[in-house]
């Protein structure tokens, strides 16, 4: 298989795993008027990538990739899964990670089965592990011979794309403004990907308290479009 084309497919915003149904607390920020225009949308995206995603899902991706490189045992995979579950305090975010990971694994199983991914899927379905999208994506990308840098860059981009797409729908901001934000933040993604292997292990799972609170508040919003 062609690694580049495979990466484009599994990272596509229309890859049917339900990513478009989640805002990860952004809906709360918009409802409260904190994110209200293109400028604040870009500030939100920068803060999320630098201070949340870098220490969380991107770091979890990196840890999973390391396990794949060393052909880690199921026990080590399960231990990382348990650690990630503990770090995801808001219940909506834990559930979102599981739903996306489960759907991703079920769909890729039908495209091109990978032994490690099949074993992870089986463990999730048997309730032996929680299941997380960052782990599933890293496992599959690694097995498909996609380079670490390309896979992690795409993973960052997909998160950013979800943010600006949600802003375009909810704030709203124009599609042109959304594309400008995506383009402007390419250098930021490059820097974060470069730094990822050197991130401080003690900061793994480092949370943005305000973000966690907004995710929890989302459960009680009077009107909600997104699941999380």
> Mean of the per-residue pLDDT values for the chain?
95
pLDDT tens digits, residue range 149-166? 999 999 999 999 999 999
Domain membership of residue 227 (yes or no) is no
pTM of the model: 0.96
In a domain, 182, yes or no: yes
148 inside domain: yes
Residue 226 lies in a domain: no
Question: What CATH number corresponds to the domain at position 153?
Answer: 1.10.4190.10
Q: Tens digits of per-residue pLDDT, 40-97?
A: 999 999 999 999 999 999 999 999 999 999 988 999 999 999 999 999 999 999 999 9
Q: Is residue 97 in some structural domain? A: yes
Residue 223 falls within a domain, yes or no? no
- Which structural domain range is residue 125 located in? 3-7+19-218
- 119 domain-assigned: yes
pLDDT tens readout for residues 130-144 = 999 999 999 999 999
Residue 20 pLDDT > 90 = no
| Residues in CB range of 18: below 8 A, 6 or more apart | 99, 100, 103
The number of domains in the chain is: 1
CA distances from 16 to 100, 136, 206, 211, 221 (A): 9, 15, 30, 26, 26
Position 159 in a domain: yes
What is the CB-side half-sphere exposure of residue 55 using CA atoms within 13 A?
Answer: 16
């Amino acid at each position: 298989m062609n690694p580049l084309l495979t990466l484009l497919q599994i990272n596509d915003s229309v890859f049917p795993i339900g990513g478009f149904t989640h805002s990860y607390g952004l809906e709360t920020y918009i409802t409260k008027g904190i994110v209200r225009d293109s400028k604040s949308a870009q500030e939100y995206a920068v803060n999320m990538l630098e201070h949340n995603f870098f220490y969380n899902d991107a770091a979890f991706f990196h840890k999973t990739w390391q396990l794949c490189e060393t052909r880690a045992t199921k026990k080590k995979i399960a231990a990382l899964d348990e650690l990630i579950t503990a770090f995801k305090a808001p219940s909506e975010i834990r559930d979102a990670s599981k739903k996306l990971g489960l759907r991703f694994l079920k769909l890729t199983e039908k495209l091109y089965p990978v032994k490690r991914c099949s074993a992870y899927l089986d463990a999730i379905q048997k309730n032996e592990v929680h299941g997380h999208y960052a782990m599933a994506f890293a496992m599959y990308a690694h097995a498909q011979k996609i380079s670490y840098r390309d896979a992690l860059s795409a993973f960052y981009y997909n998160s950013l794309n979800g943010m600006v797409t949600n802003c375009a729908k909810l704030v709203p901001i124009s599609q042109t403004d959304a594309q400008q934000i995506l383009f402007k933040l390419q250098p930021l993604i490059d820097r974060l990907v470069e730094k990822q292997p050197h991130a401080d292990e003690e900061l793994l799972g480092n949370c943005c308290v305000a973000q966690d609170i907004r995710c929890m508040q989302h459960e009680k919003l009077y009107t909600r479009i997104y699941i999380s």
